[in-house]
């Protein structure tokens, strides 16, 4: 795959082209003619057989994936939610949120969606009920209408997941468990559930695995799927080849086997992980496996929000290390202290130093980011 990389605050453009293969010599004319005839016959029978109840048509989602209007793009945002996952996809007028990060990121997530002008969500997906994937979804569902809410389970033992179920029920869209093989469209993109392919006792291995195709570009989202489930997925014959891989389980050594990464062969890998986390994520072994494949690695802990856009042929990657900070300027009426997470009025006598300031237009906005009011704010 050819690539163009511009060394400017992490803006990367990749043109997804076929990989060059070594020539095996000139093909004999008779063999060339035979191949052309075979392809013609296969195409004819696939398109004409349906009138007599013959071969089934391709799924609607697959057909939609080939349609990429010139004025439409697929945008995939790997949101910076610390040690957890949350990914927002938008195509046309439809949106899909995959996971919601940990509980403490709920208000940030709501604020981020608001700043991105998200009015509602077409799909909310919880890959599995671990707190670092479902925790912030309750806050999202309490604020934003969702047309479909999917998860790997409908019941779990934690209060955190029960809250997700509660707010989905209140919207009139109870949590549903999609079946492997289910597919739908997101704008002109296609989405398919390709895993899990077995029933597992471990929630990580039971993660919903989503494949998203848009034109000639593809994305694979694996939740916290671990190596034995990766092997089962490959054995099932599922198409795991993808241009962009959301690395499983935050780069844990229990995921991302060498065989699986070789099967996916991603040009781009994104690791959603918290800075200085207690788990040692991402694993040095996983990073080495990706580097050996020539994969470009992006990490939310070092680069902030990762945004990948596709026009159906080209992937453009940008990073936003300031996504967790408000857009207010230095003349804003409220000033937050990054270290203490306290917000002050701009005329307070106890303002933090210049390098430690965050600016807000309202005290309520600061609270959405997790700041507490100083006594100077009445």
What's the pLDDT band for 1 if we cut at 50, 70, 90? very low
In this structure, of 41-45, 112-116, 147-151, the range with the lowest mean pLDDT score is 41-45
What's the pLDDT band for 31 if we cut at 50, 70, 90? low
Q: What is the pLDDT of residue 49?
A: 42
Q: What is the pLDDT of residue 20?
A: 36
Task: Output the pTM of the full model.
Answer: 0.77
User: Which residues in the chain are classed under CATH 3.60.15.10?
Assistant: 74-320
What's the pLDDT band for 296 if we cut at 50, 70, 90? very high
Mean of the per-residue pLDDT values of the chain:
85
Residue of 333, 329, 337, 331 lying closest to 355 (CA atoms)? 337
Give the SS3 label for residue 144. coil
Q: In the beta sheet, which residues pair with residue 306? A: 78, 319
Q: What is the pLDDT of residue 73?
A: 95
Superfamily holding 74-320: Ribonuclease Z/Hydroxyacylglutathione hydrolase-like (3.60.15.10)
In this structure, of 42-46, 141-145, 179-183, 282-286, the range with the lowest mean pLDDT score is 42-46
Q: What is the pLDDT of residue 80?
A: 94
Residue 341 DSSP code: T
Residue 318 DSSP code: E
Q: What is the pLDDT of residue 50?
A: 39
Residue 275 clears pLDDT 60, i.e. is over it: yes
Residue of 333, 253, 255, 264 lying closest to 295 (CA atoms)? 264
- Write the CA distances from 366 to 55, 105, 110, 254, 330, integer angstroms: 58, 14, 13, 38, 14
Q: What is the pLDDT of residue 205?
A: 96
Instruction: Tell me the helices (H) and strands (E) count for the chain, helix number first.
Output: 11, 20
Per-residue model confidence as pLDDT tens digits over 175-219: 999 999 999 999 999 999 999 999 999 999 999 999 999 999 999
Residue 4 clears pLDDT 60, i.e. is over it: no
pLDDT: is 361 or 16 the higher one? 361
Q: What is the pLDDT of residue 207?
A: 97
Q: What is the pLDDT of residue 48?
A: 43
Q: What is the pLDDT of residue 364?
A: 87
Which runs of consecutive H residues, i.e. helices, occur in the chain? 29-48, 60-65, 106-115, 131-134, 137-143, 159-170, 227-235, 258-264, 284-292, 300-303, 363-368
Of the ranges 46-60, 91-105, 323-337, the best mean pLDDT one: 91-105
Residue 34 clears pLDDT 70, i.e. is over it: no
Give the mean model confidence (pLDDT) for residues 255-263.
96
In this structure, of 24-33, 65-74, 99-108, 178-187, the range with the lowest mean pLDDT score is 24-33
Tokens of 188: 């002109």
Residue 276 clears pLDDT 90, i.e. is over it: no
Name the percent of the chain lying above pLDDT 70. Answer: 81
Q: Quote the radius of gyration of the chain (alpha carbons, Å).
A: 23
Give the mean model confidence (pLDDT) for residues 239-258.
95
Q: In the beta sheet, which residues pair with residue 268? A: 244, 296
**Using CA atoms, how far apart are residues 198 and 195, in angstroms rounded to an integer?**
8
């Amino acid at each position: 795959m050819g690539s163009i990389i511009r060394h400017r605050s992490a803006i990367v453009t990749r043109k997804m082209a076929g990989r060059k293969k070594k020539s095996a010599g000139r093909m004999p004319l008779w063999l060339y003619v035979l191949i052309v005839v075979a392809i013609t016959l296969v195409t004819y029978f696939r398109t004409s057989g349906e009138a007599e109840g013959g071969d089934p048509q391709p799924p609607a989602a697959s057909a939609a994936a080939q349609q990429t209007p010139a004025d439409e793009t697929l945008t995939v945002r790997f949101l910076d939610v610390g040690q957890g996952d949350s990914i927002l996809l938008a195509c046309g007028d439809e949106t899909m949120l995959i996971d919601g990060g940990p509980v403490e990121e709920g208000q940030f997530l709501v604020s981020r969606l608001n700043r991105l002008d998200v009015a509602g969500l077409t799909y909310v997906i919880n890959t599995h009920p671990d707190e670092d994937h479902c925790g912030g979804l309750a806050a999202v569902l309490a604020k934003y209408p969702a047309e479909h809410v999917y998860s790997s389970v409908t019941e779990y033992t934690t209060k955190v997941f029960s809250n997700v179920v509660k707010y989905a029920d209140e919207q009139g869209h109870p949590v549903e468990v999609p079946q492997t093989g289910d597919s739908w469209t997101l704008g002109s993109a296609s989405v398919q559930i390709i895993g899990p392919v077995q029933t597992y006792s471990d929630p990580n291995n039971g993660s919903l695995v989503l494949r998203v195709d848009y034109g000639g570009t593809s994305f694979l989202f694996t939740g916290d799927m671990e190596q034995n489930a990766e092997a089962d997925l490959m054995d099932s014959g599922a198409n795991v080849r993808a241009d962009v891989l959301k690395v499983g389980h935050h780069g844990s050594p229990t995921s991302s086997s060498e065989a699986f990464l070789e099967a996916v062969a991603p040009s781009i890998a994104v690791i959603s992980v918290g800075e200085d986390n207690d788990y040692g994520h991402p694993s040095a072994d996983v990073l080495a496996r990706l580097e050996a494949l020539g994969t470009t690695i992006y990490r939310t802990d070092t680069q902030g929000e990762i945004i990948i856009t596709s026009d159906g042929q080209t992937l453009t990657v940008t990073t936003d290390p300031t996504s967790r900070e408000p857009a207010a300027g230095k003349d804003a009426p409220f000033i937050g202290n990054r270290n203490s997470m306290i917000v002050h009025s701009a005329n307070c006598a106890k303002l933090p130093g210049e390098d430690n300031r965050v600016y807000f237009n309202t005290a309520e906005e600061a609270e959405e980011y997790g700041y507490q009011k100083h006594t100077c704010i009445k």
